[in-house]
Structure 1
């Protein structure tokens, strides 16, 4: 469904110009080769539809994370660092696996179905 929304003309929610009001991008935790995909797209329109942290077009908390390894007791443990951090507490992770009511509203607004 995520890829179908791309084909329909939608960009990732974390690239909205207003993203700074709801998430913080942890640039130091993002792999160097992935930084361009996390930038804000100021030509991107929010369609005057608010966002949440669980729309289908939002990346997860650890997307494009640098990975660090550390030794925990006798085993080697790999840890990912958060890249997108919500400014307000949220239940669960970022991003979603199905359309939310706001996703549907965004599609309807974009295609003038309402």
Structure 2
């Protein structure tokens, strides 16, 4: 009996550890579902999680080639028609994963005044939409930026085992959805050098394009202040050669702000979405 109690206590402690370290409910990871991933070819990614720019070296080159209109951190030609982003969710997601996706969508809808995220129900009319797919190990978290036409993918890597890293976190899901809405990362803003420093020596040469900034002919911040607390901001050690040394950090005036850790939209994130998609 004593051995059973000890074993039960160990199991409970293990479950608690998994929940703390991964955010995934350990009891919900059913091995029978672990192989039910969506099959796809992973696109070339820009800035770590932006799909659709494979033929271009940088997002700036793609933007200049694909659009002459400016309307984001976005562009006129990439905005969602009628201010509606239609979406579908893969049937392969298990219950707790699907619940988190719905919660993230609801959070965005609760804070936006013009744009609506609406589940797709009519394939003949709702031709342009985002399909949220259940990604397997090492597929990452990524999305296209804005509406690209017909079906486009948003990938969420799910935990292959209880302690595995994954993308099914509230903030991560919203981050990728905001890309799909039409926004790039905050630190690609025209004015970013006034607010953050970049440690180029700790970034691999082939990764330095991820830290480019774009001029005002390419993107707009809608008159909003630079936002270190944005859900769309890089973290201090992203793309680091030496993970103990920073690659991007706030300038001294804002050094107490922790970047890249947000799990909810900031006031500026919300303002920019509402300015891109105003209610009238």
TM-score, with normalisation over the residues of structure 1? 0.82
Do the aligned partners of 1:53 and 1:90 also contact (CA within 8 Å) in 2?
Answer: no
Deviation at 1:92, TM superposition (A): 4.8
- Matched with 2:185 is 12
TM-score, with normalisation over the residues of structure 2? 0.35
The structure whose residues are more often helix, as a share, is: 2
Deviation at 1:32, TM superposition (A): 2.0
Q: Distance in 1 between matches of 2:245 and 2:276?
A: 35
Q: Distance in 2 between matches of 1:107 and 1:16?
A: 15
In the alignment, which of 84, 101, 106 is matched to residue 267 of structure 2?
101
The equivalences for 1:37-52 within 5 A come to 37-42=210-215, 43-52=218-227
RMSD between aligned residues: 1.6
Unaligned ranges ≥5, structure 2: 1-173
Query: Deviation above 4 Å: which 4+ runs of structure 1?
Result: none
Which of 1 and 2 has higher RCO (CA within 8 Å, sep 6+)?
A: 1
Deviations 1:38-70 (A, max 9, x none): 101221211111122110000001111112xxx
The equivalences for 1:6-85 within 5 A come to 6-42=179-215, 43-67=218-242, 79-85=243-249
Unaligned ranges ≥5, structure 1: 68-78
Of structures 1 and 2, the larger Rg is shown by 2
- Matched with 2:171 is none
Deviation at 1:108, TM superposition (A): 0.3
